[in-house]
Amino acid sequence: MRTVMLTRETTKDILENLLKRSPNNYGSFESAVADILARVKAEGDEALFAYTKEFDKTEVTKETIRVTEEEIQEAYGKVDPELIQVIRKALVNIRSYHEKQRQNSWFTSGTDGTMLGQKVTALNRVGVYVPGGKAVYPSSVLMNIVPAKVAGVSQIVMTTPPGKDGKVNPSTLVAAKEAGADEIYKVGGAQAVGALAYGTESIPKVDKIVGPGNIFVALAKKAVYGYVSIDSIAGPSEILVLADETANPRYVAADLLSQAEHDELASAILITTSKELAKKVDEEVKGFVEVLSRKEIIEKSLENFGYILIAENMEEAIDAANEIASEHMEIVTRNPFEVMMKVKNAGAIFIGEYSSEPLGDYFAGPNHVLPTNGTAKFFSPLSVDDFVKKSSIVYYSREALGKIHKDIIQFAASEQLTAHANSIAVRFEEEDK
């Protein structure tokens, strides 16, 4: 990993380098995605079957595109029973955490004949995209479905690309069944996003699409936003560790690599006030890389987006961390809770040397679908809030409106919206003659 002294210039350079990974910088793929979406919108299932044959090298039909209950039960027979138990334990934690996020409708009334409020309603139908390809992530299945279930979504439709044998990965199916998916379809890529956004003969149109995917999926979600809602445009994984001389260099190195192994665009950054720690972490990283299974991916990730930054003091380190606004942030310092209070921008914050990032990925309960590419400055983790909508409630009696109707008429007239003013005035035209 490259080691540099932390300055405003180095922070700026790193930010510019990290932003190169944003899906917004892959415009060359947009026309291909647009063509796929247009064809799915026009041809429906026919386009899905053709693209699945072209990209996934397998055939699906109207009869086989939907995963059957028999296929799900077959998947249970192929997954280690101990893993199924771990999935169920994780589900308890994830569900419990998200249940605390529930919001209720509220109403308040006054003695003057008014009532105001907010009505909270779950979305009717949500699409969950689950990637296939390089790796399988049943943990992401749980994280995307559970908050929707807790919110009260009526129908959860999952899509995921099939393998060349025409089947879906067994652990993905088991996780989906355990979490509560209502329908599962064998289709992936931009074509799956199009199917969820527009609807086809087999796949129903949804209200919102959530879930990570490759650049084609990310760009497709961006393109259909407006037809449906989306969670976010996910970028490559990131970790930033804030550490001082009290940190265990072996732990820090291991945690940095936990994200670097995701893909070649993943980012792993250590910001520390200790030159000695920086040196030891670099040594530990080199040792781990030699024995880890995804060595080539890790090396490429660290070469392009791996940094060890040495800060003059913790305040400077925290300022830089807030500028980078990482997806995952670990705080391993003498006083981690004090540092945590000064952190403004991070998707998830892990406190202390035994709260490593994978704890959040799999088991603790908080959602691991997090803002990336600096968007933690204005976005939040996926939550129950993403699966509800809110309606304002307004009630005024004639008496209550009568007291303030002239104020509204004046306000509307000032904007030259005479029909607005008339809508109020007509109710009191006899009194105001």
| Residue 273 φ/ψ, nearest 5 degrees | -95, 0
> Cα separation of 254 and 260, whole Å?
10
| Sheet arrangement for strand 183-186 | 183-186, 155-160, 125-129, 208-210, 229-230
| Residue 26 φ/ψ, nearest 5 degrees | -120, 50
Number of CB atoms found within 10 A of residue 78's CB = 12
Could you tell me if 210 and 230 are in contact, meaning their C-beta atoms sit under 8 angstroms apart?
Answer: yes
Could you tell me if 157 and 122 are in contact, meaning their C-beta atoms sit under 8 angstroms apart?
Answer: no
Strand partners, 159: 129, 185
| Sheet arrangement for strand 306-310 | 2-5, 306-310, 267-272, 238-243, 328-332, 348-351
Q: Which residues are catalytic?
A: 327-328
- Distance in angstroms between the alpha carbons of the first and the last residue of the chain: 81
